[in-house]
């Protein structure tokens, strides 16, 4: 598991997870499984956005301007307040990093967690500012320039791929294809059950 996802996962426990469960109407296991599927997918999407010079520059500027990582200091409060004044922030982030692939990603994450696409879409919108906040915190603390940020994100993506190639392959597949393509539901469910153990370590 990548250190960035570990950092985020450490914040999404206890009351934070309970807040997500309540807002989505899910039980704890479904919520954790959905989170474990959504976070690496979001990281992969951000990494692809930063794969071009213009994309990397835009991401660096967005993190510096809007994502200082302070929301990580009280994640439960962020969720409890519906995201505070940033309720629409997640929607904007998803539109930018997922684009036409959003419906497919929502479907895939939903299948991993056994929830519908609308519910997984709401979760992705809730988590997107957390991912950006974690990246922004690293950028601020480490003093990353554009190239250093791109390298850091690349290493995080590689860590996921090295730690669990099968999982990484499915996350990548969600972003490689457009449309409503079918998934092997049994594989997706096994992936969700497998990945949850690494994201939420006892």
**What are 56's two structure tokens?**
């990397």
- The per-residue pLDDT for range 175-191, each reduced to its tens digit, is 775 544 455 555 555 55
- The per-residue pLDDT for range 5-16, each reduced to its tens digit, is 888 988 888 889
The reported pTM is: 0.85
Cβ proximity of 115 and 191 under 8 Å: no
Write the burial class of residue 31 (CB in 10 Å: 0-12 exposed, 13-18 middle, 19+ buried): buried
Cβ proximity of 164 and 195 under 8 Å: yes
Residue found by looking up tokens 């570990």 in the block: 6
Question: What average pLDDT does the structure give for the chain?
Answer: 82
In percent, the amount of the chain with pLDDT more than 90 equals 41
CA distance 96 to 193: 29
């Amino acid at each position: 598991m990548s250190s960035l996802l570990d950092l985020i996962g450490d914040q999404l426990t206890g009351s934070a997870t309970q807040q997500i469960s309540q807002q989505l109407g899910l039980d704890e296991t479904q919520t954790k499984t959905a989170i474990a599927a959504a976070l690496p997918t979001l990281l992969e999407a951000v990494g692809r956005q930063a794969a071009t010079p213009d994309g990397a520059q835009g991401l660096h500027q967005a993190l510096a301007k809007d994502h200082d990582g302070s929301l990580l200091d009280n994640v439960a409060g962020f969720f409890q307040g519906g995201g505070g004044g940033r309720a629409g922030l997640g929607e904007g982030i998803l539109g930018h990093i997922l684009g036409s692939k959003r419906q497919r990603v929502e479907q895939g994450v939903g299948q991993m967690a056994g929830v519908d696409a609308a519910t997984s879409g709401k979760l992705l919108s809730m988590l997107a500012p957390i991912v950006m906040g974690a990246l922004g915190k690293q950028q601020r603390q480490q003093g990353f320039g554009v190239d250093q940020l791109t390298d850091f994100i690349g290493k995080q993506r590689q860590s996921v791929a090295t730690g669990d190639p099968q999982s990484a392959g499915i996350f990548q597949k969600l972003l490689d294809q457009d449309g409503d393509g079918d998934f092997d539901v049994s594989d997706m469910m096994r992936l969700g059950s497998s990945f949850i153990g690494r994201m939420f370590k006892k």
